[in-house]
Structure 1
Amino acid sequence: MVFRAILPVSFLFFSIFGLFLSIWIVVTASTFTFYPLSVGAPELSPGLLLGNGAIALLALFIWQSQQKRLILVSLIITLVSLLLSVLPLWQLPATHQRFAAEMERSLGVQPEAIQLPNGRFPKGVLGKASLTFYESQPFSWQTFFTGIPLPPVRYDADIQFAAADGTSLKLDLYRPAQVGQHPTVVMIHGGAWQHGSSRDNASISRYLAGQGYTVVAITYRLAPRYRFPAQIDDVRSALEFIRQNAANYEIDLNRMAIMGRSAGAQLAMLAAYPTNTPIKTPNHPPFRAVVNYYGPVDLAKGYYDPPNPDPIDSKKTLNAFLGGTPNQFPVLYQAASPINFVRPNLPPTLLIYGGRDHIVEAKYGHFLSEQLQISGNIATFLEIPWAEHAFDTLPSGISNQLALYYTERFLAWTMKD
């Protein structure tokens, strides 16, 4: 009797908890404390869908309980949670179709037909063997539960590439198991220029190394102790180190891409796009491709037009990075904004943004993509409608699976022999 009395109350508790988690799929936290919920809920939505579905089925199973009113309330709450948690999966097919069309427009080839490293094609294309990743699909339930595949690779940590102002700057090196010269991806972490390290998103670096790339994950001096241009100076020091040690680290200097997330994407674009500024530019190798995950594009506009809500306090973040406001330091803001260096003959650029990003809004990435195309460059802009900033924090989440599906094809196309 006690169990039968407690059971409906338990279902009510779990249904409310499920709604609490699911509602962050459509609600953005106004403070950074709760922002991880806004980031994580859409990425975990397939799991939330199964969990909410299980609660609903069990509630129906015990419908004959004496406390039908509590069960009915639980069911209503759970149905709302189900509708919320199904949204990303419901949007996925149309988003995938739109992304495929955008990549075909920009690259002139269907993404499913792009030859991946080591001669691999998606399953069913040209009769080749199937992929070890998502085969021909951008989302896999198995990957969601077991994680992205991480084949054995060679890993070397903490290789010092520079010492600036007494700060030892180090990189991590991920190489395919097979010895030889490999196309290379330089990886730059994010963290609002104030946090992070070369080991951020290590699973993605390891995954790409398993796909046949040498991945060089670098770091840089952090704000507010070190302000711009210290960060881009450090990136360029890393690139010079890579150039000088390419043979030792099996790096093909003729097939290099640079990839960054958030602040790291801003630095990646500054490194790849030639600049006419007093900032020193070493003789680093040219890039075949730039991969920009939700990177800041125009820092002055970002200062004066912050998102709403603004969970990281954009003005405070930019003040820490650049030392003041755009009115105080207009030259620095201009030099730190990739949009100012758009011109012809830039490397092909892949831009992936979250449609619900409240740190770097997707409109800035879209504008940069338009300007790149107007200047005659190849630009592929992909906006994930349900995703927030830093969606790839969960490597097997729905957004990162989709983003990685197109990223690996973009890299394969741009770095082909």
Structure 2
Amino acid sequence: MLRLILLILLLLVSLLTIFKAPTYHLWLVAIMAGEYSLIFIGATLLLLSAGWWSAHYQTIGTIVGVLALLLFIYPIINAYIIGKQLAANMNKALSSPIQATHFAPFSFTKLFTNVSLQSYKTFTYVSYPDTTLTLDYYKTATTGKRPCVVVIHGGSWSSGDSKQLPQLNSRLVQAGYQVASVNYRLAPKWQSPAPVQDVTAALHYLRQHADELQIDTTQFVLLGRSAGAQIALLAAYTLKQAGIKGIVDFYGPADMVWGYSIPAPKLVMDSRRVMANYLGGFYPAVPQNYQASSPIEFVNSQTVPTLIIHGANDVLVAYEHSRRLDVKLQQNNIPHYWLKLPWATHGFDYHLNGPGGQLSTYAVEHFLQSVTH
């Protein structure tokens, strides 16, 4: 009986690879189910093998276990299939064929490995009358002035910091890029467009110190996650700075007006209140603030190349944001690529060597080579 109960629990967890999580805590479980699936595969196989010694509920338990096993394998199979065509698809979409990166888009053996973290230095990049902001600078060992990736963290515009998800920063440094992970002013004390102003200040600081930091000031790429992606997109699309070569958007809200109309489930996040705290009020009390903070409104024929990365099971930022941005970029003939991850949820890249983490890391490096070559 215990075996059957445990297998049923595993089946329920495995369903999070194909269905959206209904609550905040199940969303966290969904990240585990999709990106740490090897753990669940091992547990399921162990319980299935125990059926040989247990006659009670053996058949039903085995059926349940096999279903769970197939669903836990689903992200890995999907990642393998997507990975086989990823380089060719990106070259075609970006109209800038490049040589393959130094690693495959997806490797089964990499699921068993960890990412070694690189050291960084923290610098104060701007001082306001009421606060001081810092950035964490990861310097590559590659000699000469190098392109710089400016990373903007997530956290619903009200939390998080530059220490968030450092694994990708380390990988990019190893690949020969400088990385600056930026802190910005947080809501509700500071509201839009304060974070974009902070990104502007960070870029100014990096340019001023380009010689000592070994930065090629003609080649900046902005990278943001979630709320940070909205900030990065808005900065990349509105700042008239020739040195910004591209933007990497990890599951960012691109259409704030539409996004307010379709809120996240309340048991996951009160997204309307989150937006109101950032934009100074609920819609439609301040419609101009929602429009002014919607990156999609600023896409035009001069927009920089864009990499969109989004999981179809995202319950915090709707997948539709990325579809709408993709359409707008197509209409304006902007080189871009949308990496779609059918099983993945918000924050899937927490595990950089999981199925989604591997594909997104490859896509980011491929994109960087394309726009900074």
Give the shorter-chain TM-score range.
over 0.9
Shift of 1:366: 1.9
**Corresponding residue for 1:19?**
11
Between 1 and 2, higher relative CO (CA 8 Å, sep ≥ 6) is seen in: 2
Q: 2:188 aligns with which of 219, 224, 232?
A: 224
Match of 1:52 in 2: 44
2:299 alignment counterpart: 342
- The aligned counterpart of 2:170 is 206
Question: Would you say the 8 A contact 1:154–1:177 is kept in 2?
Answer: no
Matched, 1:288 2:253: no
- Residues 30 and 309, structure 1, Cα contact 8 Å, conserved in 2: no
Q: Decide whether the 8 Å contact of 1:197 with 1:219 is kept in 2.
A: yes
Q: Is structure 2 residue 64 aligned with structure 1 residue 85?
A: no
Shift in Å at residue 364 of structure 1?
A: 1.7
Whole-angstrom CA distance in 2 between matches of 1:332 and 1:165: 24
Partner amino acid, structure 2, of 1:45: S
Bigger Rg over Cα: 1
Distance, in Å, in 1 between the alignment partners of 2:295 and 2:71 is 36
Pair 1:244–1:103, CA change in 2 (3 A):
same
Cα distance, 1:102–1:308 mapped onto 2, change above 3 Å: farther
Report what 2:341 is aligned to. 384
Aligned to 1:140: 107
1:93/1:142 CA distance change after superposition, 3 Å: closer
Tell me which amino acid in the other structure corresponds to 1:347. Answer: V
Report the equivalent of 1:6: none
TM-score (norm 1): 0.83
Q: Decide whether aligned partners of structure 1 residues 24 and 376 sit closer, same or farther in structure 2, where only a CA change above 3 A counts.
A: closer
Matched residue, 2:310? 353
Displacement, 1:363? Answer: 2.0
**Equivalent residue number for residue 28 of structure 2:** 36
Structure 1 CA distance, aligned partners of 2:241 and 2:9?
Answer: 52
**Equivalent residue, structure 2, for 1:406:** 363
CA distance in 2, matches of 1:184, 1:408: 12
Shift of 1:169: 0.7
Residue 23 of structure 1 deviates from its aligned partner by: 2.9
Mapping 1:14-413, distance limit 5 Å: 14-60=6-52, 62=53, 65=54, 68-97=55-84, 99-100=86-87, 102-108=89-95, 114-115=98-99, 121=100, 131=102, 135-136=103-104, 138-148=105-115, 150=117, 153=118, 155-157=120-122, 159-274=123-238, 286-307=243-264, 311-413=268-370
Residue 91 of structure 1 and its aligned partner are, at CA, apart by: 2.4
Farther off after superposition, 366-375 or 71-80: 71-80
Gaps of 5+ in 2: none
Residue 69 of structure 1: SS of its match in structure 2? coil
Please give the TM-score of this superposition, normalised by the length of structure 2: 0.93
Task: Give the Å deviation of 1:324.
Answer: 1.1
CA RMSD in angstroms comes to 2.2
Conserved in 2, the CA contact under 8 Å of 1:309 and 1:358? no
Q: Which amino acid aligns with 1:19?
A: L
Matched-pair contact (CA < 8 Å) for 1:221–1:234: yes
The aligned length equals 373
Q: 1:231/1:167 Cα in 2 relative to 1: closer, same or farther (>3 Å)?
A: same
Partners of 2:116 and 2:170 within 8 A in 1: no
Distance 1:377 1:349 in 2: 8
Which residue of 2 is the match for residue 118 of structure 1?
none
Residue 142 of structure 1, CA deviation: 2.9
How much identity, in percent, do the aligned residues show?
33
Secondary structure (helix, strand or coil) at the match of 2:51 reads helix
For the 8 Å contact 1:345–1:376, the answer to whether it is kept is: no
Structure 1 position 273, deviation (Å): 1.1
Q: Which runs of 5+ in 1 are unaligned?
A: 1-8, 116-120, 123-130, 275-280
- For residues 310 and 334 of structure 1, the distance between their equivalents in structure 2, rounded to whole angstroms, comes to 27
SS class of match (1:247): helix
